[in-house]
Amino acid sequence: MPPSSSSGPRPAGRDGVPALRPVPVGAEAELLVRTREIADPGDLAALLPSADPTQTFSWVRRGDGLVGWGTALRIDTSGPDRIREADTAWARAVAGMAVEDEVAATGTGPVAFGSFAFAPSSSAGGTLVVPRVVVGRREGRAWMTTATTLPDGQEPRLPEPEPVRTPGRVTYADGALTAQEWSSAVAEVVRRITAGEVSKVVMARDVVARTEREVDVRHLLGRLAESYDWCWTFSVDGLVGATPELLVRREKGLAASRVLAGTIRRTGDDADDLRHAAQLARSSKDLEEHEFAVASLVRALRPYCASINVPDAPFVLHLPNVMHLATDITGVVDGAFGHPSTFPAHSPGGLGPSSLSLAAALHPTAAVGGTPTAEATAILREAEAMDRRRYAGPVGWIGHDGDGEWGIGLRSGEIGADRRRLRLFAGCGVVAASDPGAELAEAEAKFEVMRTALG
Ligand SMILES: C=C(O[C@@H]1C=C(C(=O)O)C=C[C@H]1O)C(=O)O
């Protein structure tokens, strides 16, 4: 079966067929995907040949991960089922690929990078892209994967890398709401929480960055990796950032998720920060907020797992700008290791629900939506007065067997058609005990990630 439908773009969900809008890779072409081992390529981001954010892909943490460029296959979806439809379309596309994989490890063979809108109604929808070239590294092994169009099967020629450009002078302006308006919106949400409508609402705001020169996504990726090495540095379809929060990873039958909720700003003084970290770990407001987030994640993951492990108490994650309460949750995916699964699997080996179907089940978590989810997201939509687009949505990659990693697209910005303009986003969990001024300061601290990247 060809990896792409030949009948042209289709609206999402018509006749129950997922929207599958391929780029023209050659009418009825199938993809030939080849992976071979390579010598250590050094800094992955430094391999990226072009400044174009739509053709530059990254998912890198502490030097390991995947980068890619070019587009061999693109799947676009939209609407409430945007994530599941992409997952189904991906399984179908993979079935039509010819694969030669001499490494056969996690992240080798066909992989697609993806990014999905936070809200079902957003025009940002969802996208999976198989790049023409992917380079990966993990635990001392490195590989290159190429995706070429059959029957020709010519290896893509590597473009001459363009030099990395700096964005020059950067100015910032309010997005949908001024700081003052946003604080008032937070105060109103606190009132609604106190009145008992919901327990927690995650409120985000946007600011607009304008740069003197067109933004080179590689400049941002380099700076993000430099300062936020412990985060996942991502670039997919114009969304770029460094997220500390893992929505879900599925690898060889195990699922893992890192929940963050409860935040305190770093002061720059190590002794002070340690004192604040101890306060954070005892703060009832933050612990309560964290508890909501962990409980909702576990509730959403449980139906897909044969067993789940949840630590008794969170740890404090130290990042350069903020510290978070963090909990790492792990589970054995239903269908793994011969356990009978009620969920469709990507591979005949039968590892149960794919990483992307798990992401669909978990998104949006209480850490980025609120509690209870449906009511909280309705409130935030109204109170924020903006479309979050891909911010706080799942971003990451999926492999041919359904394994993959999906982060929450935080600490990020969106580069649109005008490459001198970025929308940056940051938010924070609002509970009954929240103070609007403190929440504004917390959002500011989170904006710092992209501000540092812009330089
Ligand atoms: C919403 C954001 O962050 C989320 C909210 C947090 C909080 O309220 O403490 C912490 C981490 C994230 O789950 C963001 O970074 O924009």
Distance 408 CA to ligand 1 centre (A): 10
- Summarize the confidence of residues 5-22 as an average pLDDT: 34
Q: Are 411 and 422 in contact (CB under 8 A)?
A: no
Closest CA to 125 of 52, 172, 75: 75
More confident residue, 340 or 263: 263
Give the pair of three-digit tokens for residue 208: 């607009």
pLDDT tens for each residue of 336-383: 655 555 555 555 455 688 999 999 999 999 999 999 999 999 999 999
Task: Quote the CA–CA distance of 201 and 218 in Å, as a whole number.
Answer: 34
For the chain, percent of residues with pLDDT exceeding 70: 88
Phi/psi region, residue 384 (left: phi>0; alpha: psi -120 to 50; beta: rest), is alpha
pLDDT of res. 19: 35
Query: Which of 189, 239, 245 should be mutated for ligand 1, with most atoms under 8 A from CB?
Result: 245
pLDDT of res. 20: 38
Amino acid at 258: R
Q: Where are the beta strands (DSSP E) in 212-339?
A: 232-236, 239-243, 246-251, 254-265, 305-309, 315-318, 322-333
Question: Strand 31-38 vs strand 98-101: parallel, antiparallel, or unpaired?
Answer: parallel
Amino acid at 175: G
> Interhelix angle for 355-362 vs 82-95, to 10°?
180
Model confidence at 149, in pLDDT bands (50, 70, 90)?
Answer: confident
pLDDT tens for each residue of 155-201: 766 667 889 999 999 999 999 999 999 999 999 999 999 999 999 99
Distance 411 CA to ligand 1 centre (A): 9
Q: Which atom of ligand 1 is nearest to the CA of 446?
A: 15
Question: Strand 305-309 vs strand 322-333: parallel, antiparallel, or unpaired?
Answer: antiparallel
Q: Which atom of ligand 1 is nearest to the CA of 426?
A: 16
Task: Quote the CA–CA distance of 221 and 53 in Å, as a whole number.
Answer: 11
Distance 431 CA to ligand 1 centre (A): 13
Distance 428 CA to ligand 1 centre (A): 5
Give the pair of three-digit tokens for residue 432: 């009954």
Average pLDDT, the chain: 90
What single DSSP character describes residue 29?
Answer: P
Q: Whose CA is nearest to atom 1 of ligand 1?
A: 427
C-alpha separations of 314 from 231, 305, 307, 319, 329 in Å: 18, 21, 20, 15, 10
Model confidence at 208, in pLDDT bands (50, 70, 90)?
Answer: very high
Q: Are 358 and 297 in contact (CB under 8 A)?
A: no
Task: Quote the CA–CA distance of 160 and 453 in Å, as a whole number.
Answer: 25
Say whether pLDDT at 32 is over 50.
yes
Model confidence at 23, in pLDDT bands (50, 70, 90)?
Answer: very low
For the ranges 12-21, 31-40, 412-421, which has the lowest average pLDDT?
Answer: 12-21
Task: Quote the CA–CA distance of 129 and 34 in Å, as a whole number.
Answer: 16
- 3-state DSSP: the chain helix, strand, coil percent, rounded to 5? 25, 35, 40
The domains of the chain, with CATH numbers, are 14-149 (no CATH), 170-454 (3.60.120.10)
Distance 392 CA to ligand 1 centre (A): 9
- Summarize the confidence of residues 4-21 as an average pLDDT: 33
Radius of gyration of the chain (CA): 21
What single DSSP character describes residue 212?
Answer: S
Q: Which atom of ligand 1 is nearest to the CA of 286?
A: 9
Model confidence at 15, in pLDDT bands (50, 70, 90)?
Answer: very low
Say whether pLDDT at 433 is over 80.
yes
- Protein residues whose CB sits closer than 6 Å to any atom of ligand 1: 202, 204, 245, 260-263, 324, 367-368, 410-411, 426-429, 446
Closest CA to 395 of 166, 231, 251, 255: 231
Q: Whose structure tokens read 């797992």? A: 305
Global pTM reads 0.92
Model confidence at 7, in pLDDT bands (50, 70, 90)?
Answer: very low
- Summarize the confidence of residues 440-452 as an average pLDDT: 97
- Summarize the confidence of residues 226-240 as an average pLDDT: 97
pLDDT tens for each residue of 309-334: 999 999 999 999 999 999 999 999 98
pLDDT tens for each residue of 75-117: 999 999 999 999 999 999 998 899 999 999 999 999 999 999 9
pLDDT of res. 450: 98
Distance 19 CA to ligand 1 centre (A): 31
Query: Which of 368, 444, 451 should be mutated for ligand 1, with most atoms under 8 A from CB?
Result: 368
Phi, psi of 331 (to 5 degrees): -155, 155
Sign of the dihedral defined by the CA atoms of residues 264, 265, 267, 269, in that order: positive
Distance 211 CA to ligand 1 centre (A): 26
> What number is the ipTM of this complex?
0.98
